[in-house]
């Protein structure tokens, strides 16, 4: 199916890497066709597009391409809305051209649709491409609840990932509903919280007992079941081979690494983590982790660990420091 996604402004590489991962989680044949600014054209199943719309951290809307307005939005409106529920729809104009009324009238006159601005079932999203305005039909995305979950935490650590970034990491790891997920450097449980919110059974491991206790309280405050927290060393994890479907984590670096003792250089430390993560994953399981700048990606034991790196996504932490979000899978 030909579809499109309208991503948030900012780091387009993060948004595109995330949407690629979500689409492939539900449709291995999906692909990104091209990007034009904040508009990303894709080929994917209807289910994959709906899942992307519901769970992405950095995609605003996604769905099937259903029409266009030629001549950069000044021409005629072309629509194809067969089998789309238009009993309660709303137009979202991301072009800044004031197209809501024109598009809404075309849907009402051509398809008998009914506008519902307060409780729409489907959205008709107008977004600019290079030479026209494209129209996307998307389900009303659910409230992601990032801020609400953050407010309910009772324990915080300065190094904890923001909820939106934690969701991004979970999506890179291809977490699915009902799957078994691990964060071996879980801290205050930012990443396991997002995995659990997507319906995975989320396990958080943390070597520091104070952090693990605080993380336990955070999880307990948000979820009645479907999770576990334990005190464990990520480089000596107490789990059997092939236990987890996906792993996402933020390995400590700099002074934070001291908590894990003397395990040689940072590359040695990461290498041990990668070998253990691969051991714990099922074949074709997803792995996502963060790398600080200065680490030679080629020096990491990808082949030895049976891991295939798919993307290295730069993320500027501040003006003079960049981190990389790594997306990988365990080979069969």
Could you give phi then psi for residue 187, rounded to 5 degrees?
A: 55, -125
- The Cα 275–Cα 301 span in angstroms is 8
Topology of 146-330 in CATH? Answer: Rossmann fold (3.40.50)
% of the chain surpassing 70 pLDDT: 96
pLDDT of residue 277: 98
**Which carries the bigger pLDDT value, residue 101 or residue 265?**
101
Tell me which of 6-15, 58-67, 147-156, 199-208 is least confident. Answer: 147-156
Q: Are 329 and 287 in contact (CB under 8 A)?
A: yes
- The Cα 300–Cα 274 span in angstroms is 8
In the chain, beta strands by DSSP E: 2-7, 31-36, 39-43, 59-69, 77-79, 89-93, 122-128, 133-139, 180-183, 201-206, 227-231, 244-249, 281-292, 307-318, 321-330
What is the three-class DSSP state of 25?
Answer: helix
Q: What is the pLDDT of residues 112-141, one digit of tens each?
A: 999 999 999 999 999 999 889 999 999 998
Tokens representing 303? 């082949």
Closest C-alpha among 297, 66, 306, 280 to residue 182: 280
The pTM of the full predicted model, rounded to 2 decimals, is 0.93
Q: Are 308 and 329 in contact (CB under 8 A)?
A: yes
* CATH number, domain 2-139: 3.30.2130.30
Asked whether the predicted pLDDT for residue 2 surpasses 80, the reply is yes
Q: Map out the domains of the chain as residue ranges.
A: 2-139, 146-330
Asked whether the predicted pLDDT for residue 258 surpasses 70, the reply is no
In the block, tokens 């890497």 appear at: 17
Per the DSSP assignment, residues forming a β-bridge with 69 are: 77, 133
pLDDT of residue 81: 96
pLDDT tier for residue 262 given thresholds of 50, 70 and 90: low
pLDDT of residue 47: 94
In the block, tokens 């519902």 appear at: 116
Q: What is the pLDDT of residues 219-248, one digit of tens each?
A: 999 999 999 999 999 888 999 999 999 999
Average pLDDT over residues 256-267: 61
Tokens representing 164? 């939106």
Q: What is the pLDDT of residues 140-176, one digit of tens each?
A: 988 887 877 777 888 888 888 999 999 999 999 999 9
- The Cα 308–Cα 306 span in angstroms is 7
In 221-331, beta strands by DSSP E: 227-231, 244-249, 281-292, 307-318, 321-330
- The Cα 182–Cα 38 span in angstroms is 32
In the block, tokens 């266009």 appear at: 68
């Amino acid at each position: 199916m030909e579809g499109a996604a309208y991503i948030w402004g900012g780091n387009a590489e993060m948004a595109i890497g995330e949407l690629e991962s979500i689409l492939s989680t539900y449709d291995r044949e999906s692909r990104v066709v091209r990007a034009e600014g904040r508009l990303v054209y894709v080929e994917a199943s209807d289910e994959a597009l709906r899942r992307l719309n519901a769970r992405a951290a950095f995609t605003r809307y996604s769905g099937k391409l259903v029409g266009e307005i030629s001549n950069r939005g000044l021409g005629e409106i072309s629509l194809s809305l067969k089998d789309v529920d238009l009993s309660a729809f709303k137009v979202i104009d991301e072009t800044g051209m004031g197209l809501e009324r024109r598009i809404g009238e075309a849907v009402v006159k051509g398809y008998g649709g009914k506008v519902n601005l307060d409780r729409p079932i489907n959205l008709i999203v107008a977004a600019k491409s290079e030479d026209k305005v494209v129209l996307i039909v998307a389900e009303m995305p659910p409230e992601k609840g990032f801020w609400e979950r953050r407010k309910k935490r009772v324990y915080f650590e300065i190094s904890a990932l923001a909820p939106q970034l934690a969701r991004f990491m979970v999506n890179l790891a291809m977490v699915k509903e009902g799957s078994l997920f691990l964060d071996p450097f879980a801290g205050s449980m930012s990443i396991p919280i997002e995995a659990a919110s997507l319906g995975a059974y989320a396990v958080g491991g943390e070597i520091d007992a104070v952090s693990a206790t605080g993380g336990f309280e955070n999880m307990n405050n948000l979820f009645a079941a479907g999770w576990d927290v334990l005190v464990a060393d990520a480089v000596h994890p107490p789990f059997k081979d092939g236990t987890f479907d996906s792993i996402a984590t933020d390995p400590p670096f700099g002074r934070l690494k001291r908590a894990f003792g003397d395990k040689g250089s940072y590359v040695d430390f990461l290498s041990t983590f990668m070998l253990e993560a691969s051991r714990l994953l099922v074949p074709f399981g997803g792995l996502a982790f963060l790398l600080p700048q200065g680490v030679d990606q080629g020096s990491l034991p990808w082949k030895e660990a049976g891991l295939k790196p798919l993307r290295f996504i730069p993320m500027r932490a501040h003006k003079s420091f960049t981190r990389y979000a790594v997306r990988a899978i365990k080979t069969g």
